[in-house]
Amino acid sequence: MNFEYNLKEGKVKMVLPNKLRAMSFFKSSAQAIEIVKSIPLNSTSAKTVFRELYEGLREYCGAIGYLNGYKFIDHESIGFFLRDVLNEPQLYKKFDRYRKLRNGINYYGENIDIETVKEALLEVPVLIKELGKYKI
């Protein structure tokens, strides 16, 4: 699958670029990342910390979508947007890995090890910084 396929299938909607909505998502993304850094990481909090990190990354990508005239209906389409529209295959791979981990937690009750969450705590802010070049 790719971005064009998801666009045709209605998993991505074309919208008027919306800078105001994008700015709201950028702000929400920054808040999620900052708040999650204040949560003590342990076996009880690991899932919550990871989900919020992912949510911050997803919101940031959604904001970039709004700046470019796209509204994502599913998270997989965000990855295809990163890969096919922004031409960021490495960001796509990292986003998709985190998407799959989050899906495992949310939909299948899987656990996540603390080392993976520690890695995400370091990597997600870097990914967001890399995506900053698309924040018009």
The boundaries of the domain holding residue 59 are 3-134
Residue 22: what pLDDT?
A: 98
Per residue in 32-42, pLDDT (tens digit) is 999 999 999 99
Angle at 48 between CA 40 and CA 41, to 5 degrees: 20
Total structural domains within the chain:
1
Number of H helices, E strands in the chain: 6, 2
Question: How far is Cα 57 from Cα 77, in angstroms, rounded to an integer?
Answer: 14
- Predicted structure pTM score: 0.96
- Residue 95: its pLDDT value, please? 98
Check if the beta carbon of residue 62 is closer than 8 Å to that of residue 77.
Answer: no
Return the CATH number at 61: 1.20.120.330
Amino acid at 39: I
- State residue 1's pLDDT score: 92
User: What are the residue ranges in the chain where pLDDT is below 70?
Assistant: none
Please state, for a pLDDT cut of 70, what percent of the chain lies above it: 100
Assign 3-class secondary structure to 57-96.
HHHHHHHHHHHCCEEECCHHHHHHHHHHHCCCHHHHHHHH
Q: What is the pLDDT of residue 136?
A: 74
